[in-house]
């Protein structure tokens, strides 16, 4: 008993020290999400004496199978084209780093933002957006396919790590951020604005989808924009789809290129590229932090619920940088995402996903036992969803291998 009391005191001391060190409590702003005020999990669990609820959410994401698969899922370039191009995994890590930095500057909860950043792409198909577009097209008669909804289903249904519940049983705040990071999810006139999977979950654990998400979730969403714009420039330059001189007149990028050329005359191109990319990231992060700080101050919000009911996002770029960022996105869309080499890869990827879907719909027994068993007793719509779940979970490499396997016989 004495040993137990000593252990308990040590645990209490650790939690107190951790609260001071991590920044929740007195170091967090009044409008930050505090782990001790979490609305909890759908299925109650004993909490950890050594980690906050949001740290546990982050750790559960990192340890799940869907997260590991991101290592072999395309961002823009398939991994067979080179070892240094971003994958969904490295992209997610970069988003998490940016989100944590912004949250630290604004007195927000870094652990929640990190959990959201690491989870945000779990639902992506193999082959990036090409795979998603192909799967969505095949799923149109059955409700379509959206990677954000698929992420939510992975977190609440499809992961099977625990004995007494499906999914990861994440906190209300983390699931809220997954669902609403782009803003409220509102029913349309026909009542079909909220996806069925989310509506069904909310019947048991209401995520209040008609309000805005926390500032941490809003930051994670814009950290995603910062990460993919900057690293897509890096990958596009590496792939020789364009060069630094092509960026001269591109908003944000052009200023960074000019500054680098003026500062580092005669330096090798590879170093100039990295200097350019980090300036783009720095400009976007600084602007996001400054503008958000101003909006938070002017809004008068004093709690996370004030942010939810504010009626507009509190996290944003300044108008000038927002316009420049949109222009940069449009330039990348035209000069990178629609480059001949990328388009050819899209066509190949779409054909693989389309062929897999049609073959497994016609012959569900060709899927592995676990999946064919799930599809066996379902109607056509239910079978389509199982097939989509199976394909969406594939890595690029596994999708190619499965395509080769089912094409035989």
Please write the tens of the pLDDT for every residue from 83-104.
567 788 999 999 999 999 999 9
> Looking at the predicted structure, is the pLDDT value of residue 169 above 50?
yes
* Distance separating alpha carbons of residues 83 and 81, to the nearest angstrom: 7
> What's the pLDDT at 7?
41
End-to-end CA distance of the chain: 67
The full set of domain ranges for the chain reads 221-341, 343-406
Q: What's the pTM value of the predicted model, to 2 decimals?
A: 0.90
* Distance separating alpha carbons of residues 69 and 76, to the nearest angstrom: 16
What average pLDDT does this structure show over 315-325? 97
The alpha helices in 82-146, defined as continuous H runs, are 88-106, 110-119, 128-139
Cβ neighbours, 10 Å, residue 328: 23
* Distance separating alpha carbons of residues 316 and 99, to the nearest angstrom: 13
> What's the pLDDT at 128?
87
Q: How many residues does the chain have?
A: 409
State residue 231 phi and psi, 5-degree precision.
Answer: -75, -20
* Distance separating alpha carbons of residues 27 and 298, to the nearest angstrom: 21
> Looking at the predicted structure, is the pLDDT value of residue 140 above 60?
yes
Cβ neighbours for 206, distance < 8 A, ≥ 6 positions apart: none
* Distance separating alpha carbons of residues 73 and 71, to the nearest angstrom: 6
User: No. of H helices and E strands in the chain?
Assistant: 18, 0
Task: Give residue 274's pLDDT band: very low, low, confident or very high (50, 70, 90).
Answer: very high
Mind listing the pLDDT tens digit for each residue in 220-232?
999 999 998 888 8
What average pLDDT does this structure show over 295-321? 96
Torsion of CA 400, 404, 406, 409, to 10 degrees: 170
* Distance separating alpha carbons of residues 394 and 388, to the nearest angstrom: 10
Mind listing the pLDDT tens digit for each residue in 301-310?
999 999 999 9
* Distance separating alpha carbons of residues 273 and 373, to the nearest angstrom: 51
């Amino acid at each position: 008993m004495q040993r137990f009391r000593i252990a308990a005191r040590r645990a209490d001391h650790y939690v107190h020290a951790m609260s001071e060190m991590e920044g929740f409590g007195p170091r967090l702003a009044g409008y930050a999400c505090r782990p001790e005020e979490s609305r909890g999990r759908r299925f109650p669990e004993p909490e950890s004496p050594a980690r906050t609820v949001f740290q546990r959410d982050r750790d559960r994401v990192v340890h799940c199978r869907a997260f590991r698969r991101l290592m072999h899922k395309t961002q823009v370039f398939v991994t067979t084209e080179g070892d240094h191009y971003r994958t969904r995994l490295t992209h997610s890590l970069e988003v998490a780093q940016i989100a944590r930095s912004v949250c630290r500057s604004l007195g927000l909860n870094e652990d929640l933002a990190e959990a959201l950043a690491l989870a945000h792409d779990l639902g992506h198909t193999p082959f990036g957006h090409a795979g998603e577009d192909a799967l969505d097209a095949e799923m149109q008669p059955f409700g379509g396919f959206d990677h954000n909804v698929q992420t939510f289903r992975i977190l609440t249904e499809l992961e099977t790590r625990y004995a007494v519940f499906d999914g990861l049983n994440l906190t209300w705040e983390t699931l809220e951020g997954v669902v609403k990071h782009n803003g409220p999810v509102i029913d349309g006139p026909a009542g079909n604005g909220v996806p069925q999977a989310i509506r069904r979950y909310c019947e048991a654990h209401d995520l209040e989808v008609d309000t805005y998400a926390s500032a941490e979730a809003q930051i994670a969403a814009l950290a995603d924009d910062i990460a993919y714009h900057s690293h897509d420039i890096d990958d596009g330059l590496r792939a020789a789809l364009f060069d630094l001189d092509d960026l001269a007149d591109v908003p944000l990028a052009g200023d960074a290129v000019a500054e680098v050329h003026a500062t580092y005359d005669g330096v090798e191109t590879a170093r100039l590229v990295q200097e350019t990319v980090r300036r783009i990231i720095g400009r976007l992060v600084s602007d996001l932090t400054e503008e958000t700080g101003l909006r938070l101050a002017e809004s008068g919000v004093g709690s996370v619920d004030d942010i939810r009911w504010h009626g507009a996002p509190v996290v944003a770029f300044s108008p000038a940088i927002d316009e420049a960022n949109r222009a940069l996105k449009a330039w990348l869309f035209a000069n990178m995402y629609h480059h001949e080499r990328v388009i050819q890869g899209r066509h190949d990827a779409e054909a693989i996903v389309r062929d897999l879907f049609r073959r497994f719909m016609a012959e569900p027994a060709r899927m592995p036992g676990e999946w064919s068993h799930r599809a066996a007793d379902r109607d056509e719509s239910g079978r389509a969803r199982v097939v989509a779940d199976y394909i969406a979970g594939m890595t690029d490499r596994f999708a190619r291998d499965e395509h080769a396997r089912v094409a035989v016989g």
